[in-house]
Amino acid sequence: MGGGTKLPNAHGMLPVPNSTASYWRSDPHRLDEHRSTEQLPPQADIVIIGTGIAGVSTAYHLLDRQDNDDAPQPSILLLEARQVCSGATGRNGGHIKKLPSTIIDLIQNLGSTAAGEIVEFVRANIYGVKRVIEKEKIEAEAELRRSFDVSLTEEDAGKVKAEFEKQLEAGFPLTEDLGYVGEEFAERVRIDPKAITSIHGAKAGLSTTLLERVLSKGDSNLQTNTAVTAIESDDDGGVYTVTTTRGQVKTPIIVFATNGHTAGLLPQYRNVITPTKAIASHITVPTGQFAPYLSNTYNLRIVVGGGKWTYEKERELWYNVHDDPTLIEPARHYFDGLMQRHFRGWEGSGAKTESVWTGIQGVTKDGAPHIGKVPGTSGQYILAGYNGGGNAFAFLAALAVARMIREGIPFEQTDVPMCMKTTQARLDVAEA
């Protein structure tokens, strides 16, 4: 491979086998361990690392051309270390939304203007997902719904109310689509189901169906169980050699849709995008028994995440942790009896925890994702670091990266908030 530059990797941050069994992956898609060809192709126009919502959406947008666009389609190779959607996309909470509490953090970290731009971007992403589901006739159990963020303590409720009133007075964009329900109405509120703040149910089914569309058009190749272990550039940086567990591929363009595992291949993102471990559960009621009604729930599947307070102080269990084959022990039984504790009418429901799993998120220093061209490179692009909210960003972030590659436009012309652009200045924060 000549005298090119080898980009070091940190194998301890790459995906590991035998992950915990997620409810969303209990019935694997036919593409779960698919390989389009027996051997890796020797080269590809574009290599995409990762087949979650970010990687698959990037491939989809690259191939989704206008009718009058007669340019040749690029050859695309999608590499997945494990199975399709076996990372964060297949381990999520089953909804697309941005929590108001995280918006408050963004206001503090980035300022009201940048945080407002993120709110608008999330809103656009929700409708973007809705459109592609309808356009491609995807059976993703997706419904547009209102959602609730409920305070369980008086202290938290007081902080939420004060912040809401502050942002309402300031005209912050989120308040256009957000209401505050006081204690006197909290236990009997119902919201118009035609109103929209989030989309529920667009889970792994969205990604796998989009992947089917990608593989049915153009020159696309999917290789699962093919982990990327190293990347080497040639002398002039124009071509990369991607080394995997099954061989090597040459390409001028690499897309890193690697989220919490990014620093395993791009060491400049160490301490910039940090892997953190989170936990979620699937709760059921006994067979033959109807679950009590839950307002604004899209169906009777109950997926609950959280419980971070049970393990937050034990940082070695979750912070800078990349492995998802094990649970977070202090939270293992947090979900037992949760419905009975917090929801009226569920006291005698017999609801129980059917399964518990973990997943790896990518957390950034400033709370914003890293999107765009990797600083100092000729053909490397990234969309990662979603801070646990990838579904709220990834589809339109992928469109931005696809346009940068396909049309040669700069990040500034993509309609993605500038605070989400990956820059050397943001990377340098890790060294400060």
> Residue holding tokens 């005298």?
3
Which pLDDT does position 197 carry in this prediction? 44
pLDDT, tens only, 48-106? 999 998 999 999 999 997 655 677 889 999 999 998 888 888 787 667 776 666 777 88
**What's the N-to-C CA distance of the chain in angstroms?**
35
Q: Report which residue type is found at 134.
A: E
How many other CB atoms are there within 10 angstroms of residue 259's CB atom? 30
DSSP structure class, residue 336: T
Range from 25-34, 176-185, 302-311, 409-418 carrying the lowest mean pLDDT: 176-185
Residue 216, classified by CB atoms within 10 Å of its CB into exposed (0-12), middle (13-18) or buried (19+), is exposed
Per-residue b or e along 97-136, where b marks 16 or more CB atoms closer than 10 Å to that residue's CB = bbebebbbebbeebeeebbbbbbebbbebbebbbebbeee
DSSP letters, 258-288, are -GGGGGGT-GGGTTTEEEEEEEEEEEE--TT
Q: Which two tokens stand for residue 277?
A: 């471990």
CB 398 within 8 A of CB 383: yes
Residues 6+ apart with CB under 8 A from 51: 78, 80, 84, 85, 207, 211, 222, 224, 257
**How do beta strands 75-79 and 219-223 pair?**
parallel
Which pLDDT does position 393 carry in this prediction? 93
DSSP letters, 165-177, are HHHHHHT-GGGGG
Q: How far apart are CA 294 and CA 310, in angstroms?
A: 26
- Phi and psi at 356, nearest 5°, equal -135, 140
1, pLDDT greater than 70: no
| pTM given for the model | 0.89
DSSP structure class, residue 415: -
Which pLDDT does position 98 carry in this prediction? 66
153, pLDDT greater than 80: no
Which pLDDT does position 30 carry in this prediction? 87
CB 22 within 8 A of CB 282: no
pLDDT, tens only, 328-354? 999 999 999 999 998 888 888 899 999
Q: How far apart are CA 27 and CA 11, in angstroms?
A: 30
7, pLDDT greater than 60: no
pLDDT, tens only, 264-280? 999 999 999 999 999 99
pLDDT, tens only, 196-252? 344 544 444 688 888 999 999 879 999 999 999 999 998 666 899 999 999 999 999
